[in-house]
A and B are shown apart, each in its own frame.
Chain A
């Protein structure tokens, strides 16, 4: 492919080409100016004068594959579906995921995240965590884009915001019952499995059937 194309004489004298360019831009100018004006009077509303989205008021429709803020999918009883395998933490190229795993009372689940933080200030939104997850426990489908905050700390999501995308900082009250580590309790592990399952599931006879039913992801 030739890198440089020789200009024709017509192009070399500039003026016609300049007029052509000015013609194009002016055509857009007058068409849009006309449309803007008649839109004021409610006419030709179906002909757009600008492709602009007035962002905060008029959010742009997102593609289905769009990677937005993360969330952790939740089991029916309100515990994260995550089994704390740390594959997302491993695959994360930005190293923005922090997981501390704990013992789940159900031996068929075995492991769950006591702590699950994502530092959005570091995240590159590559979506590898979603790809790596063997449990469909992390998704990037909240359609939340406005993660801007006044401090770096406010961009660190912990398990509360990740499990409930509607929650925004500052999270004042901890609604999670299972043992977990969060800033609200001064980064101590608080909560109990009894408050989630009643009696300890290890002692429950039909624990297998009981947990098998809980694999459905709560949307």
Chain B
């Protein structure tokens, strides 16, 4: 790897980092504003700089200032090291997972091929799932290190929930992997560029609709947000970060939003063709009725990035809408849903997918 390659990788990492963190930060604003608009309200709009309010966009800024200047409190008798480590772990794994997300097609500049993916890993999907699973350590550590029974119980609830749903989550994507035959996300996205019967884009949702719903449900549970926010229960029950204040609390808070973005990215990548635009091939649009519209390859890549971003934003919006529409599950309902409904359905989905594949490709593939 040359120095230029390294620079390019760093630049990519910086772009992803910048985009994700800003999107997560913006989520606090979207959360307030979207809920307000859904509920016929106006929403937070009082933070202002020199009288300019800008639709309340300064509120995330004010939040950040508040988080930074608040007292960082560690309870007496808590494990100071673990207590401090937990939020960092939490946010680190959430952010590290983004390295595996391809956000555009490969770019050719000056004979150099740049994959628009921070880390080009053959098993990017496994990597991302590994990172997401490690995130539970931050939660458990937070509850464990707080020396607070409520925090500890909250952490137990969180880990139980995350483990239950990770299984369904993992199995739900097996079908996708089986169909496209790869764990490399970039390849997986590229494979979704094909069409079924010449007109329908071969996106994950088309070939694996059941898996998509299971994935969506399990992924939302993974982000620990309403209606699956039992670990936190910020409104009435007490969650694992009850003993956190200031920016450490802010990091847990941020982790939620980063995970939301992560899940939106995964959903886009696995089921909505990633950066694909229907009928857009590297040299232009090839419509099913035969018309061809040539497009500059660079523009195609940029359109792909735009398409990916748009899909991610749409998912973010959907998650937010669901979060402000549904009430919280009861804990037994949550477990029931995870183990008795999602898990068997996902297994069945794998079986059916396998059967269909075996029938379509009797000689194997």
Alpha-carbon gap, A36 to B55, bound state (A):
11
Alpha-carbon gap, A139 to B37, bound state (A):
40
The smallest beta-carbon distance between B41 and chain A, in angstroms, is 5
Which residues in A have their C-beta under 8 angstroms from that of B321? 22, 25-26, 29
- State whether the Cβ of A151 lies closer than 8 Å to any Cβ in chain B: no
- Given contacts A22-B318, A26-B321, A28-B40, list 10 more A-B pairs with CB under 8 A: A18-B322, A22-B321, A22-B322, A28-B38, A29-B37, A29-B321, A50-B36, A50-B42, A52-B42, A54-B42
B interface residue numbers (CB < 8 A to A): 34, 36-42, 213, 318, 321-322, 324-326
- State whether the Cβ of A24 lies closer than 8 Å to any Cβ in chain B: yes
The smallest beta-carbon distance between A13 and chain B, in angstroms, is 9
- State whether the Cβ of A51 lies closer than 8 Å to any Cβ in chain B: yes
Which residues in A have their C-beta under 8 angstroms from that of B39? 28
- State whether the Cβ of A62 lies closer than 8 Å to any Cβ in chain B: no
Which residues in B have their C-beta under 8 angstroms from that of A54? 42
Alpha-carbon gap, A32 to B38, bound state (A):
7
Residue contacts A-B, CB under 8 angstroms, 18 given:
A15-B213, A18-B322, A21-B325, A21-B326, A22-B322, A25-B38, A25-B325, A26-B321, A28-B37, A29-B34, A29-B38, A29-B321, A32-B40, A50-B40, A50-B41, A51-B40, A51-B41, A52-B42
Give the interface SS of chain A, mostly helix, strand, loop or mixed: helix
Alpha-carbon gap, A31 to B326, bound state (A):
20
Which residues in A have their C-beta under 8 angstroms from that of B324? 25
Among A24, A29, A33: residue with most chain B CB under 10 A: A29
Which residues in B have their C-beta under 8 angstroms from that of A25? 38, 321, 324-325
Which residues in A have their C-beta under 8 angstroms from that of B36? 50
Alpha-carbon gap, A15 to B214, bound state (A):
11
Which residues in B have their C-beta under 8 angstroms from that of A132? none
- State whether the Cβ of A155 lies closer than 8 Å to any Cβ in chain B: no
The smallest beta-carbon distance between B322 and chain A, in angstroms, is 6
- State whether the Cβ of A49 lies closer than 8 Å to any Cβ in chain B: yes
Whether A32 and B322, one on each chain, are in contact in the complex, defined by CB atoms closer than 8 angstroms, is no
The smallest beta-carbon distance between A15 and chain B, in angstroms, is 7
Whether B37 and A52, one on each chain, are in contact in the complex, defined by CB atoms closer than 8 angstroms, is no
Q: Could you give, for residues 36-78 of chain A, a 1 whenever the CB lies within 8 Å of some chain B CB and a 0 otherwise? A: 1000000000000111101000000000000000000000000
